[in-house]
């Protein structure tokens, strides 16, 4: 291996270390830090982010990339590292370090304001911070050459190569099919789910969630689960991938599904090739592929009938009074009940993508300047009524429910729905390869499933671009057909359509 390649890896390793230090500071802010530490934390993150950006965009890195271009066989790890690094370098050099520093401070203040605003259900507290955040994003877009749509720049940060027009086309094809399914379900006999909203002991639910994800294969020797205002997963290394979760009094068992979801992300990170550690190849290739892992474990596994044929008897032992006499089929139907809901993370599979489409419209409207920030609560409520036929009673259950805008994550939301599509595409391939998968899940065995994902998805990290990886594994690029088949089959059986 060339000396210059080793030099590049050394610099990239230092940049990776700095990014992981920033991630640690952000994790601590959401899990442990007292609110009074926000200003100092913002400055700390700003300092580290600025150093990382300057190092990543140095002339040394540019020269090394020029020297290494075309030096390695196509398809090799070395060629992939040079390709991915060149792409990231080409984007990063367009953004001034001063902007990176300012954005870190703005984001830290915005997060603390969001926490307070959500707690008090008062959008006015968050409004000036979101206005500044949108202003920063519009400024960020201007650093790049004109694109088909300004939002393309933001989307590309999370889903490399994907265009806003492509996402809109996918969603426009998917929306009428989901709306049609929802209408059919609405006219069918509804399932009962009152037992899901009874009082459940928080610690017992939390412990049960950890039992489930341990059985999945989430390695607690290389991870942990902590409490936060909004569930998330973060990575400090392949041997330190953490998740957070929360307990909601009105929906206590949602803790179980949040744990499955975040563990799906974390197991992807834990399965990344260790040789990619401290390089841009480590971790997932895109947010859509990442989300395919979390949604697969949460929904295709965790909301399946075979899964609860195994786990419901165990859950009944922890909660006999709440679940006494309940059949597996009744439990399965209840956790898959289709009903328009206010909160995205608790939405059923049939309506979830509509929540995402709403947010995509909101973000595009903000970036285009079409939506004034002061009007967002009203716009949100109107769109919720248009999409789902319900109106949030307050800001906390409406425009303030998601953490993303306070963290500067604009361009992110569409990847949730794209991840649903990818999960179904992968699921069809998995079931073709593991023909007794249902029986294995029914027995509480997940080794073969996790092994398949490790071999086909996880180990490659960011070696392949997302569309190329999906094509390589399933035979087609991201497409809605498999997901529509999955939803139609599942809900036709539950609702006897």
Torsional sign, CA 124, 98, 233, 486: positive
Contact 285, 465 (CB under 8 A): yes
- Which residues have CB under 8 Å from 431's CB, separation 6+? 437
- Give me the count of residues in the chain: 497
Q: Which two tokens stand for residue 398?
A: 């409406």
Select which of 26, 159, 166, 262 is catalytic.
Answer: 262
What does the angle CA 245 – CA 376 – CA 341 come to, to the nearest 5 degrees?
Answer: 45
Contact 100, 49 (CB under 8 A): yes
Residue with tokens 């949030």: 392
Whether residue 262 lies in the annotated active site: yes
Contact 484, 177 (CB under 8 A): yes
Pairwise CA distance, residues 50 & 139, whole Å? 17
CA nearest neighbour of 9 among 278, 319, 212: 278
Q: Taking the CB of residue 339, how many other CB atoms lie within 10 A of it?
A: 16
Packing angle of the helix pair 466-474, 287-295 (nearest 10 deg): 50
Task: Cite the active site residues.
Answer: 262
């Amino acid at each position: 291996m060339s000396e210059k390649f080793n030099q590049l890896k050394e610099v990239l390793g230092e940049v990776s270390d700095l990014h992981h230090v920033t991630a640690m500071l952000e994790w601590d802010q959401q899990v442990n830090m007292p609110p009074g530490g926000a200003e100092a934390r913002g400055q700390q993150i700003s300092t580290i982010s600025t150093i990382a950006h300057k190092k990543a965009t140095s002339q040394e890195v540019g020269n090394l990339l020029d020297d290494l271009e075309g030096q390695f066989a196509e398809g090799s790890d070395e060629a992939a590292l040079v390709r991915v690094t060149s792409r990231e370098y080409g984007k990063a050099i367009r953004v001034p370090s001063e902007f990176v520093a300012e954005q870190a401070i703005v984001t830290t203040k915005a997060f603390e304001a969001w926490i307070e605003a959500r707690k008090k259900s008062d959008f006015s507290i968050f409004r000036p911070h979101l206005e500044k955040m949108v202003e920063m994003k519009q400024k960020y877009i201007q650093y790049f050459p004109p694109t088909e749509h300004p939002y393309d720049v933001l989307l590309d940060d999370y889903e490399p190569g994907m265009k806003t027009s492509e996402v809109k086309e996918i969603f426009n094809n998917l929306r009428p099919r989901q709306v049609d399914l929802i209408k059919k379900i609405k006219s069918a006999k509804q399932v009962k789910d009152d037992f899901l909203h009874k009082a459940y002991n928080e610690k017992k639910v939390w412990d049960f969630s950890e039992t489930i994800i341990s059985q999945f294969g989430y390695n607690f020797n290389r991870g942990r689960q902590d409490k936060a205002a909004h569930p998330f997963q973060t990575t400090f290394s392949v041997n330190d991938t953490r998740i957070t979760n929360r307990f909601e009094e009105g929906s206590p068992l949602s803790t179980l599904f949040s744990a499955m979801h975040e563990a799906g992300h974390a197991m992807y990170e834990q399965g990344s090739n260790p040789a990619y550690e401290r390089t841009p190849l480590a971790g997932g290739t895109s947010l859509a592929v990442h989300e395919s892992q979390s949604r697969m474990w949460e929904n295709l596994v965790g909301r399946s009938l075979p899964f609860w044929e195994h786990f419901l008897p165990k859950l009944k032992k922890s909660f006999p009074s709440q679940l006494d006499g309940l059949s597996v089929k009744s439990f399965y139907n209840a956790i898959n009940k289709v009903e328009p809901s206010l909160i995205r993370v608790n939405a059923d599979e049939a309506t979830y993508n509509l929540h995402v489409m709403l947010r995509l419209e909101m973000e595009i409207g903000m970036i285009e300047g079409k939506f004034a920030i002061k009007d967002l609560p009203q716009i949100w409520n109107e769109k919720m009524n248009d999409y789902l036929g319900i109106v949030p009673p307050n800001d906390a259950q409406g425009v303030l429910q998601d953490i993303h805008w306070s963290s500067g994550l604009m361009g992110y939301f569409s990847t949730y729905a794209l991840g649903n599509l990818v999960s179904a595409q992968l699921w069809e391939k998995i079931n073709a390869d593991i023909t007794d998968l249902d029986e294995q899940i029914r027995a509480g065995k997940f080794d073969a499933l996790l092994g398949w994902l490790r071999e086909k998805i996880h180990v490659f990290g960011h070696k392949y671009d997302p569309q190329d990886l999906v094509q390589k594994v399933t035979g087609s690029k991201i497409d809605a057909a498999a997901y529509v088949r999955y939803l139609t089959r599942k809900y036709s059986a539950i609702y006897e359509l």
